[in-house]
């Protein structure tokens, strides 16, 4: 397989086969629709604020690793986390692309309550794809993607959650990580040997290797990828179910309970190679992926994926609100356990 579009969402038959092999022939369990989760007092996630954050990131231009836009936007993300009182650190590394060339990558980490070993991990990627290789116009294929949804939306949700946590603090330890160099996989026009195809999710690979070496631990992780696109709903990604099924259940039940069932349908998607794979396999933190799954159109990731149409105008604040409010409720529920 030569690119992300061919290794992402697989056919239903193949998904079933992989699940049977990897999970010992596990059968689909009955949904526990009657189960409810005790809800802690939770502030309101401001989707308009998150949208403004997306606009501000996109105003720098496409954040291709190594570019001036990337440097300026990275500095912006660091400053925003610091403004909200988090302890920020960075990882820098040269990563190798499919063609053997290298680019500098910059992971940005922000920590809340650094002394508390009881932690959860919330992560996303912040880079832009260098090639709009799914654009309907072939003349645009070698132009970089604006990446309002595929990059900026996840960052915006993490920053808005940070703002809420500054206003209404919790004792829980939280690690926010923005991975660089997620979207450098080979463009569609390249025909590659198999050993050349491992060029996706390079920043999370750097982070996960260091986390594993340092013995990093967290209750679980949640990856956000493309969480603001118009028309998005979020099926249960199957590698998430393989590695962290209880966390999938927790998030999807909570989302439905607080009124966002339309966005979190009880429906399985496909197997996706994304940053959560490195978090699971290398860092050994059970991590899920909240990622859209479109059942019609040119791509399972939606009509703007890897096109020049991935702009703030195609972001839906209702989608941002559904994801952001669900995660906010999750955090404050977890924090409430300290009072019990």
Q: Residue 34 class from Cβ within 10 Å (0-12 exposed, 13-18 middle, 19+ buried)?
A: exposed
The pLDDT of residue 27: 30
Which residues neighbour 305 within 8 Å (Cβ) at sequence distance 6 or greater?
Answer: 134, 149, 150, 226, 299
Which residues neighbour 221 within 8 Å (Cβ) at sequence distance 6 or greater?
Answer: 120, 121, 122, 123, 244, 276, 279, 285, 286, 287, 288
CA 161 – CA 225 distance, rounded (Å)? 16
**Integer angstrom CA distances of residue 249 from 108, 110, 275:** 28, 27, 20
Using CA atoms of 67, 68, 70, 72 in order, give the dihedral in degrees to the nearest 10.
170
The pLDDT of residue 60: 98
Do residues 323 and 233 make contact, with C-beta atoms less than 8 angstroms apart?
A: no
The pLDDT of residue 340: 61
Strands (E) across the chain are located at 87-96, 102-112, 119-125, 173-179, 221-224, 287-290
> Cα angle vertex 200, ends 68, 197, to 5°?
125
The pLDDT of residue 194: 60
Domain ranges (residues) in the chain: 4-23+40-339
Coil vs helix vs strand at 230:
coil
CA 131 – CA 62 distance, rounded (Å)? 10
The pLDDT of residue 198: 81
Q: What is the mean pLDDT of each run of 10 residues along the chain (340 residues)?
A: 39 37 35 73 98 98 98 98 98 95 98 98 98 97 98 98 98 98 94 70 98 98 98 98 98 98 96 96 98 90 97 98 98 88
Q: Tell which residue, 321, 305, 327, has the closest CA to residue 262.
A: 321
CATH no., domain 4-23+40-339: 3.40.630.10
């Amino acid at each position: 397989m030569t690119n992300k579009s061919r290794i992402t969402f697989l056919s239903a038959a193949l998904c079933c086969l992989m699940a049977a092999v990897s999970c010992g022939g596990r059968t689909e369990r009955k949904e526990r629709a009657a189960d409810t989760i005790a809800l802690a007092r939770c502030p309101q996630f401001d989707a308009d604020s998150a949208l403004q954050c997306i606009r501000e990131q996109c105003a720098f231009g496409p954040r291709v690793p190594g570019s001036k836009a990337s440097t300026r936007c990275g500095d912006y993300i660091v400053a925003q986390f610091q403004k909200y009182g988090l302890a920020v650190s960075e990882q820098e590394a040269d990563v190798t692309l499919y063609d053997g060339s290298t680019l500098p990558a910059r992971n940005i980490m922000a920590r809340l309550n650094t002394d508390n070993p009881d932690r959860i991990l919330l992560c996303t990627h912040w880079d832009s794809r260098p090639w709009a290789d799914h654009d309907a116009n072939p003349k645009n294929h070698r132009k970089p993607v604006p990446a309002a949804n595929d990059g900026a939306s996840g960052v915006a949700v993490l920053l808005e959650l940070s703002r809420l946590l500054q206003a209404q603090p919790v004792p829980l330890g939280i690690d926010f990580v923005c991975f660089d160099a997620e979207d450098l996989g080979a463009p569609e026009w390249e025909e590659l040997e198999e050993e050349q195809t491992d060029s996706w999710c390079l920043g999370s690979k750097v982070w996960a290797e260091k986390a594993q070496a340092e013995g990093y631990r967290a209750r679980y992780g949640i990856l956000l990828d493309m969480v603001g696109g118009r028309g998005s709903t979020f099926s249960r990604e199957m590698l998430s179910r393989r590695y962290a099924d209880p966390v999938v259940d927790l998030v999807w039940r909570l989302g439905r309970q607080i009124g966002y069932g339309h966005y979190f349908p009880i429906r399985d998607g496909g197997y996706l190679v994304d940053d959560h794979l490195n978090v699971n396999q290398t860092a050994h933190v059970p991590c899920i992926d909240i990622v859209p799954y479109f059942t019609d159109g040119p791509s399972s990731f939606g009509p703007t994926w890897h096109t020049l149409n991935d702009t703030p105008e195609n972001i839906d604040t209702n989608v941002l609100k559904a994801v952001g409010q669900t995660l906010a409720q999750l955090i404050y529920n977890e924090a409430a356990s300290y009072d019990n």
